[in-house]
Copies of this chain bind each other. A is one copy, B any other.
């Protein structure tokens, strides 16, 4: 029997200080890094039942359960809970907000203690290893040496991959869903248009919008509308909205009329409340540059790991399509890594990893069992 978690709370911890700063792979350092995270379930005495969950581009630490007073459950509540694939009756689950994010963990809008002003564009460029370095500090803070599993979808899966590369002994089982080891040229192309929309918004003011009391809402809205199309499948849009309109007959207009247009307006507008433009720039850029198999140290690290991988793609995903998962699997297998790969059927595109297409939860549950 599976149930749901009850009330949960986000916690915070300081994981970098002037005495122990966080140094970034592509240059720069932070003397103060705070991390927001949640935990579900209990750590056993052997401290060997920890499962680390890493979120995707715009996620938060709130992966499961309910915040007091909230109506909506955590973003992966279908996956995490008592009796669910990431079973909180069995596992101690750790879910932080990622470095560079805007939901409690230090990011571009955080205050630089050296200046008393927000970092904005002075925030260091992010490498996947920088995110992993913070995860590792969090794990150490919790007194855990080795993870039973690391689980992530999309950018979340890419953090788990980098973690195995950076510390090949840290993770027993790695679950990567709808991920990639290298963005395609088209991925980068779509990503750069989203950033262009944000950075050319007059209210971006060179990244110092917070201090000016403005926000690049127009650009951020366009970026999200575009990205949202990229996350869902054409078939899903077709089935959900077809060509239904709000106007009738020849009462045509330039502004939103088809239902899919109103839907995208809604997606764009609600995104403004929950995400920051600078975090969007930094995190999409991190994805563009991510290319671990181009780094010399990767082969050696993966050649020595005992981590078992499970890689899953969805056939309607055109954000990170099956071809990208297959390339990742080939690279891993070429280095002798144990990989269980499957492409699952789903009509829901990239967002499938957040949903429950047939066979998906069973597959993750079996791998973690």
Contact = CB atoms under 8 A, between A and B. Distances in A.
Taken together, the copies of this chain in the complex come to 2
A193 B242 CA distance: 17
Contact of A250 (B26, B229, B281): B26
A326 B114 CA distance: 63
A288 interface: yes
B260 A192 contact: yes
Given A26-B250, A197-B222, A254-B195, A186 B288 contact: no
Interface of A: 25-27, 121, 125, 127, 182-186, 188-190, 192-193, 195-197, 199-202, 218-219, 221-222, 225-226, 229, 234, 237-238, 240-243, 250-256, 258, 260-261, 264-265, 268, 281-282, 285, 288-289, 291
Contacts of A188: 243, 258, 260-261
A145 to B, nearest CB: 30
B264 A185 contact: no
Given A238-B184, A253-B125, A190 B285 contact: no
Scoring A27, A218, A242, A253 by chain B CB atoms within 10 A of each residue's CB, the highest score goes to A218
Given A193-B222, A218-B200, A234 B186 contact: yes
24 contacts: A26-B252, A125-B253, A127-B252, A184-B237, A184-B238, A185-B234, A186-B229, A186-B234, A186-B238, A188-B260, A189-B237, A190-B226, A192-B225, A192-B258, A192-B260, A192-B264, A195-B254, A196-B265, A196-B268, A197-B222, A199-B254, A201-B218, A252-B289, A258-B288
A184 B234 contact: yes
A284 to B, nearest CB: 9
Contact of A226 (B226, B241, B264, B288): B226
A250 B27 contact: yes
A291 B200 contact: no
Scoring A185, A254, A289 by chain B CB atoms within 10 A of each residue's CB, the highest score goes to A185
A20 B98 CA distance: 66
Nearest to A239: B185
Nearest to A249: B26
Nearest to A321: B234
Contacts of A258: 185, 188, 192, 288
B193 A229 contact: yes
